[in-house]
Amino acid sequence: MKRTLTNHDWAQLCRPIEVQIAKTFNGGFVARFPDANCNASGDSEEDAVENLNDIVAATMELLSSQPEDHLGRASKRQLAVLRECVVAH
């Protein structure tokens, strides 16, 4: 199942971000943005997507606040992917 993230009060999307959603074994849902290695869970699809919006924002804020030479290769890649899709307000 796939959904798309939407603009949020913290950011403007540069392009649609397609999100993968799967039901978990305990009846909840997990939303994944695999290109940026971001995942979130929730009791419903909507909760999972909303939580993923928050994770993407927090990850962008955290990684952007660090000097790039302090980031590892995976974090640099994650930040590059987020910068391609999200512009913080």
Domain boundaries, the chain: 2-88
Q: Vertex 46, ends 40 and 50: CA angle to 5°? A: 50
- Residue whose tokens read 């924002």: 57
CB 13 within 8 A of CB 89: no
How many angstroms separate the CA atoms of 21 and 17, rounded?
13
Quickly state the pLDDT bin for 2 (edges 50, 70, 90). Answer: very low
The rounded percent of the chain whose pLDDT value lies above 90 is 52
In this structure, of 3-7, 47-51, 57-61, the range with the lowest mean pLDDT score is 3-7
* pLDDT of 36 strictly over 60: yes
Q: Which helix (H) or strand (E) holds 3?
A: strand 2-5
Is 90 exceeded by the pLDDT of residue 5?
no
Distance CA 42, CA 46 (A): 8
- Give the bridge partners for 87, in sequence order: 12
The pTM (predicted TM-score) of the whole model is 0.82
Q: Tell which wins on pLDDT, 72 or 16.
A: 72
